[in-house]
Structure 1
Amino acid sequence: MANPIWIMTSAFDTLNLDQTIAKATEIGVQGLDLCVFRKNGSRNDFVATHLDYENFGPEEAKTILEKFNSNKLRLSIGAFENLIGGDPAHRLKNQNHLLRLIRMAYLMGGDENDIKVGTFIGYNHELGNQEGGFEKNLLEYQKVFTPIIKYAEDLGVTVLYENCPMEGWRSERYSSSFNNLTGVLAARKLMYELVPSPNHGEIYDPSHDVWQHTDPVEVIKNTDMNRLKRIHVKSTRNNPDPFWGNMYPTQSVDPTLAKKAGVPIPASSWDRHHYEATLPGFGLGDSMDWRAFITILKEKGFTGPFEIENEAVLSKQTGNMGAIVQGCKAAVMNMAPLLWELGAEGFEFPKSEVKPLLTINRKDIPLVTMEDL
């Protein structure tokens, strides 16, 4: 069975949904993971909103399914925010937005159509700074997400967590850069013990482990494959740092002092871990063995989508749509011989495996909030 290649739509934040679908067709992918961030949210990096979440009911769900079927594409949805920490007002809005996305996924068929909902967990540093802070964050996750996952399970929807530590979510003046609980495998495995429902799992991005000097192959060997539903295609080029080492984040000190000492300091809150975001096969060397990674996934029976998350310095970060599309095309061509069958036109996704979304006629259900749960 050939794995499909999808695109996460954060790279196409300047385009509407129809324009993004047109780019997906041009690039040659089989699906889209639609970013549906809430307006006026707490993030301003790599966000997009490709569905009208404020006006979404059964008719809108039917229209989306028909649109994607007519373009031979499949889909998921997601928004990635801090749900257990940060500003309390934003925190509650983020939680309620996730509930809104779960309802939207339900109306489009949820697990029947393999329409998942992606999210972060985030991190609560008020708890994290205390003794036993990591475990206190786990317990905060359990308190917040037990009713959320129960709601999703009741509707036949699966919630997926992505593993970026979100190292730039706080100022570079802080010594720690761990800002998302799911950033390490141990946390994810503990989370499933605390909330044992089958209706949550993982979107695994190997690049985040690569810059943490962790082998993604070993992570997959220790991952519960029943939880793994999506893989992000994003690469990392690691840059050695003789000044700060490669275990801890670069720290911020007075610029005058740093200049006198000849020591580099962060240029921004994201400039902490000595790596450059790349895409496989596009412009730069890659600090990851994709062949070994995909081999272990196939050995473990992974059949889900590989989603291109384009944050590459030479692609998305140029702001040039041509370079953005080129980066995605390069990633598809790089992954094709590892994922697809060899046919008359080279390595291509088999037409026999293009599966239309099921026609779903779900009755409307009211919006719920955390207070309702």
Structure 2
Amino acid sequence: MSGVHVIVARASEEQPGPGILGKVAEDVVSKIPGSDFVAVDYPAKLSNYKASQKAGVVAMSALINDYTAACPDGKLVLMGYSQGAHVVADIVCGASEDVFDRASAISDDKSSKIAAVVMMGDPSRNATAPFNRGNATKDGVFPRKDLAGCGPAASRMVSYCSAGDKFCDSGNDLNVHVGYVDTQGAAATKHHPRHLPPRRARHLHRQLHRQHQAPLLQLVHLRQVLLVLDHHRQAVHLRREALPEALLLRVVPHLLLQRLAHPLPLPEALLPLVPPRLLQQLARLLRRRSGELLLPALHRPRGQSGHPLLLEPPRHLRLLRRQPQVPRRHHLLMGRHLTLLPSTRLLQLRNGAPQAAAPGTGDALPSDEDP
């Protein structure tokens, strides 16, 4: 499965199904191709809340177990509203609230398959949790005592709660409690998965790094690799210091422009192998869409260090029209504008700023006044 499997636990006293969170789940499914969602079948009753919530934990755990067994490489998104958020939190973090039976957090192997956790109006909210969102300052009515169990998944969690909420902020305003889909629904759909399962991440990371060993990176293969990462909605989940510096630069492949929410980092070793025609295709597409393309130098004169490059699509196209004879093997040098130069007309880089070329070797960078 290329998308995510969303599991939704409804709020107290809602009719069976996803409840008001269904709209958020549908938005996520529509934005991530190949995704689907399912609702947790549990009582969701305020009366005998403890037994109802426990039944929700059991039911959602069964759904998680069934899915991970059937799709070991799949990704999960857990969502819960009110009592449903309490269910989700107990599964991910373990139960440590007063009155409720203690329970352990989800196992590490299953936690690694959870791409995102979205909770709204969680009665077990701890005011000190790092994943809290909103202006609430108090604990929920059943505050979680131990946040350690959330550790492995904390960076993928978000819990919305506003001041005065009757259940997650121990307030007295029920209207606040039922309004999160309207006030935070759009933000919740942007809480994209930020991690890949470690084994899958390492495989993709190695696959990208090995491209420098090939004489030529086939455009089709580049598309395939990027498409896989796009479906995961993320760069590789590895320690930052273990990645090439060029991962901090952004490459927007033309196949993914319509779906990718954030530019996709790539190892620098890939970039010299990207065909020049792809850069021109990107420029044409980027002209029609807002965005920028950052690349390290595709070619570096001996003895010079590399610098990031800013590609401004409209300017790029104007320069192409002005210099129709620019050879395929060209140089991109850092500046406010993109300059395409033949190999015999290099600009010298000093202190990271572009300077005019040596006399007789070509023109300086175009000024801001140039059309």
TM-score (norm. length: structure 1): 0.31
TM-score (norm. length: structure 2): 0.31
Which is higher, the Rg of structure 1 or of structure 2? 2
